Amino acid sequence: MITLYGIPNCDTVKRARAWLDEHGLAYQFHDYKKQGVPAGKLPGWMSALGWDKVLNRAGTTWRKLDDATKAAVIDAASAAALMVAQPSVIKRPIVEWADGRLSLGFSPELFESHR
């Protein structure tokens, strides 16, 4: 089973979900806002994808953080703490594909390569 992690009002997540629906691929949606960040998954994502890529420094949530909070993110542990406290700073979507591979973000080409 494919699991897509994100927040429902994110435009990129909406495009990813629409692509999966259009291609008839069944998936579960894990909503960070309602279900939180799955603590057991975060270390694996950061290891496989890179904590600096999982942390979305280009997003609105990051830009709204105070400078001290931003400056405190110096390694995987501090990034993980922020991501658990502020799930919207996680780049979206993270997808766990049926074969166990992970992807970060959305593009039709990326998703096609995991199909």
* Active site amino acids: 10
Q: Concatenate the DSSP letters of all residues of 33-66 into one string.
A: HHH---TTTHHHHHHHH-HHHHB-TTSHHHHHS-
Rounded CA-CA distance 38/105 in Å is 18
Contact present, 87 and 37 (Cβ < 8 Å): yes
Residue 17 token pair: 């979900």
List the one residue out of 36, 7, 38, 1 whose CA is nearest residue 20: 1
